[in-house]
Structure 1
Amino acid sequence: MLKENLKDYTLILASASPRRHQFFKEMELEFEVRLKSVEEIYPSELKAAEISDYLAKLKASAFKNELEAKDILITSDTVVWHKNESLAKAEDDIEAEIMLKKLSGDWHQVITSVCFTTIERQIVLNSITEVKFKNLTPEEIRFYIEKFTPFDKAGAYGIQEWIGLIGIEEIKGSYTNVVGLPTQLVYETLTKIIE
């Protein structure tokens, strides 16, 4: 079991996301949270998974020369990709409403890249999930934004919240990836790293 095999390692999760913390707890993995402030700017020519891969690596670079022999650093980034455009975190109500109107009645991709860094190597993997929203009414969009203030989420929504429950028609791929962490991919990769 991974939990037993990890007992000599320190798993460092560089994320403030309560959803990611919860997933690690539910996978029965002991971890510590270490946070660094990183300006999430990427080259404009990058698209889709290239963006999240780049940002996951950028977040790891903030810990350069700080890792010890048995440390495994995990950094990640989630991108919502729709019609050749990245929908990041909304700044305010207006931006959130614009994003949700774009996603309404259409498919989009949720891409989460996870970067695993040790003093010996770095592995970057990503998971892509296709998500389809029903046609959301203006009232549904406004209610969701006012009640749930989804400004900490890419694409201005959380699939695990009200809007996901009433608005998601179909999903192809990992559900946990849409929440913010492809848990099966993380578990499998950690197992390989410590083999």
Structure 2
Amino acid sequence: MQPLILASKSPRRQELLKQVKIPFDVIPSDVDEAQYPMKSGPEEYVETLARAKATHVLDQHPDRTVLGSDTVVVVDGEILGKPKDSQDARRMLRQLSGKVHTVLSGVAILSEDGETVFHGRADVRFFPLTDEDIQTYIDSGEPFDKAGAYGIQGFGAMLVEEIRGDYFTIVGMPVAQVVRALRSFSH
């Protein structure tokens, strides 16, 4: 059997698949997320984006199994994507300061034989952040390629007071759910 295709260039998702010893090739999807406005709730939205990314790569490799994924941060009813610049990162981190937010990671596993689509969820509480905390984190360079302007697996761990739910969803993919879905998918 050929390795899974991961339709993402995310180093975090690649590490998660390596961690659970799933063989994979990386063929990033270049889906324009702006083409997919949120028409329903954030759960459906993140699943729609994951499916779109997997479909784009499956269309190019119809004989393979493709995994697409997308992660969003939701706070006060607003979806926070990746920050455009340091000012946008500062705005997001201020919005997350001292609050609970939800992280959703959508997953779509597709092949010519079928599909399974789901999402993982975790609630994260940030400590109240000072302007100095925020500036130090922005200066680290870490916020710029991450939904919600932070990465829990890196320096951003200092921002987090509490987690409820799946840690790996916050990193970028609910890996235990993925393993189980792949097992049932291949039977």
Normalising by the smaller structure, the TM-score range is: over 0.9
Which of residues 66, 83, 103 in structure 1 aligns to 2:96?
103
How far off is 1:64 after superposition?
Answer: 4.6
Structure 2 CA distance for aligned equivalents of residues 50 and 68 of structure 1: 25
Q: TM-score, normalised by structure 1?
A: 0.91
Cα deviation, 1:75-115, whole Å, max 9, x if unaligned, reads 00001011110000000000000000000000000000000
Match of 1:46 in 2: 40
Q: Secondary structure at the match of 2:101?
A: strand
Match of 1:184 in 2: 176
Structure 1 CA distance for aligned equivalents of residues 115 and 182 of structure 2: 12
Residue correspondence of structure 1 range 112-131 to structure 2 within 5 A = 112-131=105-124
2:49 aligned with 1:55: yes
Q: TM-score, normalised by structure 2?
A: 0.94
Match of 2:150 in 1: 157
Which of residues 122, 125, 135 in structure 2 aligns to 1:132?
125
How far off is 1:68 after superposition?
Answer: 4.0
Q: Which amino acid aligns with 2:159?
A: G
Structure 2: which 5+ residue stretches go unaligned? none
> RMSD of the TM alignment (CA)?
1.3
Structure 1 CA distance for aligned equivalents of residues 120 and 99 of structure 2: 20
Q: Secondary structure at the match of 2:143?
A: coil
Match of 1:5 in 2: none
Q: Secondary structure at the match of 1:63?
A: helix
How far off is 1:66 after superposition?
Answer: 3.0
Structure 1 CA distance for aligned equivalents of residues 13 and 38 of structure 2: 27
Structure with bigger helix share is 2
Q: Which amino acid aligns with 2:46?
A: S
Cα deviation, 1:116-171, whole Å, max 9, x if unaligned, reads 0010211111011000001011101100011134111000000112232x221110
| Identical columns (%) | 37
Contact 1:47/1:84 (CA < 8 Å) preserved in 2? no
1:180/1:44 CA distance change after superposition, 3 Å: closer
Structure 1: which 5+ residue stretches go unaligned? 1-7
